């Protein structure tokens, strides 16, 4: 069975984690989901994988080590230190990820339209007062505002135009984010979703969902 080796992030220090997200249960749930999906992803022969909010770079690097250099890898984080950490993590694991410091994918303009085969987002998902969203590097990692969705809600309308016809969007959703409403919004954009993995960790109920343009591809 195809595997995703957990990337080596030993170059990142406690000081780095004062300003970037230290991989945690949510990150590892996404890595496990991507590993389960690897046969499907490989069968697509993807040309481009993109991550929004890579933090340490652990997810996009994991995918890059598994899929190899035939595919390109791009990641965009609003936190410049996360972009630098992602480049360093990719290098440490002998692969290459291009990063943009930008709000969502705005830094890429329309260049990614219709080109993304795999899109990944582990968003800041914790329900907080709206003013905590984007209040600083660390708040960027977890503060999600209303329903924990303020950042995700801005990415959602972009997803259909980013994905290739076979493209797959992997999204981490916490139960308080209202998965049913998220699904209804995606369905209104003709994106179909399926929960592929879930785990309860302490008070959080985390799940990974995949969205595609073809419901038969789920
Ligand atoms: C929960 S952390 C996930 C980090 C990493 N992907 C992981 O799974 O370990 C959320 C990430 O999203 C980034 N982020 C938050 N708001 C963003 C925005 N508007 N545009 C781009 N990245 C953003 C944060 O800086 C942080 O790196």
Residue 10 lies in a domain: no
What is d(CA 145, CA 165) in angstroms, rounded to the nearest whole number? 32
Q: How many domains does the chain have?
A: 1
Per-residue tokens: 130: 């709206």
Residue 151 lies in a domain: yes
Confidence of residue 186 (pLDDT cuts 50, 70, 90): very high
Q: Is 124 in the pocket of ligand 1 (CB under 6 A)?
A: yes
Three-class SS of residue 90?
helix
Ligand 1 centre distance from Cα of residue 45 (Å)? 26
Among the atoms of ligand 1, which is closest to the Cα of residue 55?
Answer: 27
Residue 209 lies in a domain: no
E-assigned strands of 153-191?
A: 163-174
What is d(CA 43, CA 131) in angstroms, rounded to the nearest whole number? 43
Asked if 198 and 205 count as a contact pair (C-beta separation under 8 A), the reply is yes
At 8-24, the pLDDT tens digits run 999 999 999 999 999 99
Please, what is the average pLDDT of the chain? 96
Residue 191 lies in a domain: yes
For residue 54, what is the domain's CATH number?
Answer: 3.40.50.150
Three-class SS of residue 213?
coil
Residue 56 lies in a domain: yes
Residue 30 lies in a domain: yes
Question: Can you give the residue range of the structural domain that contains 186?
Answer: 21-203
Helix 58-67 to helix 25-43 angle, to the nearest 10 degrees?
A: 30
In terms of DSSP bridges, do strands 192-201 and 204-212 run parallel, antiparallel, or are they unpaired?
antiparallel
Residue 101 lies in a domain: yes
Residue 123 lies in a domain: yes
Q: What pLDDT, on the 0 to 100 scale, is given for residue 151?
A: 97
């Amino acid at each position: 069975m195809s595997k995703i080796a957990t990337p080596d992030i030993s170059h990142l220090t406690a000081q780095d984690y004062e300003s970037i997200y230290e991989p945690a249960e949510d990150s590892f749930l996404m890595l496990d989901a991507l590993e389960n999906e690897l046969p499907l992803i490989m069968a697509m022969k993807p040309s481009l994988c993109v991550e929004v909010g890579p933090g340490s770079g652990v997810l996009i690097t994991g995918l890059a080590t598994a899929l190899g250099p035939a595919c390109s890898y791009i990641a965009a984080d609003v936190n410049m230190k996360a972009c630098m950490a992602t480049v360093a993590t990719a290098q440490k694991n002998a692969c290459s990820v291009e990063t943009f410091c930008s709000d969502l994918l705005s830094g890429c303009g329309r260049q990614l339209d219709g080109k993304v085969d795999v899109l990944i987002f582990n968003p800041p998902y914790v329900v907080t007062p709206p003013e905590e969203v984007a209040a600083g590097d660390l708040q960027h990692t977890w503060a999600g505002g209303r329903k924990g969705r303020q950042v995700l809600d801005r990415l959602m309308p972009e997803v259909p135009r980013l994905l290739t016809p076979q493209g797959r969007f992997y999204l981490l959703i916490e139960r308080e984010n209202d998965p049913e409403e998220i699904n209804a919004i995606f369905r209104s954009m003709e994106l179909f979703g399926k929960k592929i993995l879930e785990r309860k960790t302490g008070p959080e109920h985390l799940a990974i969902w995949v969205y595609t343009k073809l419901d038969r591809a789920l």
